[in-house]
Structure 1
Amino acid sequence: MIAQVQSVVPTPVDSKAITKSEFEQYVEEKPNALKSVGGEKFPLLSLGDVTKTILHHAFWLAEQKQKLSLRQYKKLLVDRGWRGEEKKYLKIAAVFGEFSPQDLGQVEPLTVYQLANNSNKYQPVIDALLDLSAITQEAVRSLVKEHRKPKAPKPEKPSIWRRTKNGGRYCQIPAIHEEDERTGVTLQSMIDTEGLSAQQIVAEAVALRKAYQEGKLVLVNEDNKDKN
């Protein structure tokens, strides 16, 4: 008699069945800390708890992206309502990959986002955190301030214009400093001998120089003048 062998049919793997991660366990533990205020319940989460939750989320999401197929990963994002939000968490996971959520538990959430979103700018700060025995918000602020590059002062464009109280403007020539005081002596001599104001003399001098630049005047050399 031939013994009948019952075929073994493998149990289909449910793609939805994903092993409960540390992130999920962490999130499930937190809602137990509830307090009723005015008839409403809300989780008593400190800023540190929020930061650790964000990091757990980021690390877990990065892990899922590595081990799931692209189709499964996209489905996970849609099912959990994370589609379009995943990039910033993956960036956090990449930037803080050498830390644990507990390491950064004393850093407020916005600072974590700030460092991750500007990782090129703050890379020296992130590297310096690895050398700290305890990473606190105050320590991070100090490092950010320490590595902040001072802004180069913009060179001011020289301007002779000044404003009047009624909104008009006038030109004011800055002080002229010369060792031989030639310009001041010459100007004062013209004022004394010609009876003109300093403004009139300067206006004429500017007009003559402009005419020379435009080719309307020619500079005559005294030696050539005598020969003629």
Structure 2
Amino acid sequence: MMTPIQGVTATQINSHQFEPYAQEDADTTAEFSFQTIADVTKTILRHAFWLAEQKHNLSLKEYKKLLLNYGWQGEEKKYLKIAATFGKFEPQDFAHVEPRTIYQLAERNKQYQKVIDKLLDFSVINQETVRTLIQKQRTPRAARPKKPSIWRRLKNGGRYCQIPPIHEASEQTGTTLQKMMDEEGLTAQQIVAEAIALRQAYKEGQLVFAEQRN
């Protein structure tokens, strides 16, 4: 059982008294959070530009030694690509763009070259601006026509073929097939398999029509 504190009751504590402080704390946190993201983005660009400058100024041996000292072998490539992609900009230009977008544009700089070029025309660049340009750049893929398939899957992983319904005003195919089944005692599957085999043989030149013999 909790022991009540002498002289203090629940009615004496007004929760509304804390609302201004809570709101102030939330605003401060949000400001700090967005500012931190901005600092990360600028740092990424500054590092990329610095690394590209080192590669340009140092000998190959010195450059490799630099990477070795910091354990960056192989990791530098993505940043060199960022430097090449955003070489016409300043790090501050992308202070309002989140880091992942920077990597995305650099990784696919050929695909998004038009986006990067258009950003040069903006005096203020933010996440919404970049996102809008990226969405406009993406062209919807033309839907490929679905290839007709007669195959159906079994639960055990096997498959079987299923011929779609044949609609004819004359009903000739269905009537002829039914007559063959009745007269020859064969199943529809057997007759269809035989018909397909004969057609394939004809396509391969193994069969000819009787009138072609003369």
Q: TM-score, normalised by structure 1?
A: 0.61
Kindly state the Cα deviation for residue 85 of structure 1 after the two structures are TM-superposed: 3.4
Partner AA of 1:130 in structure 2: L
Indicate yes or no: 2:40 matched with 1:50: yes
Kindly state the Cα deviation for residue 89 of structure 1 after the two structures are TM-superposed: 2.3
Q: Deviations over 1:60-102 (max 9, x none)?
A: 3333444455565555445555454333323222211111111
Residue 133 of structure 1 corresponds to 123
Task: Give 1:93's match in structure 2, choosing from 83, 100, 103.
Answer: 83
Task: Give the SS at the match of 2:92.
Answer: coil
Task: Give 1:185's match in structure 2, choosing from 172, 177, 202.
Answer: 172
Q: Deviations over 1:145-194 (max 9, x none)?
A: 2212333445544321223456554322234456xx46x32431452586
Residues 165 and 77 of structure 1: CA distance in aligned 2, closer, same or farther (over 3 Å): closer
Residue 102 of structure 1 corresponds to 92
Partner AA of 1:88 in structure 2: K
CA distance in 1, matches of 2:39, 2:206: 80
CA distance in 1, matches of 2:156, 2:59: 72
Q: Deviations over 1:21-46 (max 9, x none)?
A: xxxxxxxxxxxxxxxxxxxxxx9761
Kindly state the Cα deviation for residue 214 of structure 1 after the two structures are TM-superposed: 5.3
Which runs of 5 or more structure 1 residues have no equivalent in the other structure?
1-42
Task: Give the SS at the match of 2:160.
Answer: strand
CA distance in 1, matches of 2:113, 2:105: 8
C-alpha RMSD of matched pairs (Å): 3.4
Task: Give the SS at the match of 1:162.
Answer: strand
Kindly state the Cα deviation for residue 216 of structure 1 after the two structures are TM-superposed: 5.0
Share of identical aligned residues, percent?
61
Which runs of 5 or more structure 2 residues have no equivalent in the other structure?
1-31
Task: Give the SS at the match of 2:81.
Answer: helix
Residues 74 and 216 of structure 1: CA distance in aligned 2, closer, same or farther (over 3 Å): closer
Residues 215 and 139 of structure 1: CA distance in aligned 2, closer, same or farther (over 3 Å): same
Higher Cα Rg, which structure = 1
Kindly state the Cα deviation for residue 133 of structure 1 after the two structures are TM-superposed: 3.0
Kindly state the Cα deviation for residue 126 of structure 1 after the two structures are TM-superposed: 0.9
Q: TM-score, normalised by structure 2?
A: 0.65
CA distance in 2, matches of 1:186, 1:72: 81
Residue 158 of structure 1 corresponds to 148
Greater fraction helix: 2
Residues 200 and 188 of structure 1: CA distance in aligned 2, closer, same or farther (over 3 Å): farther
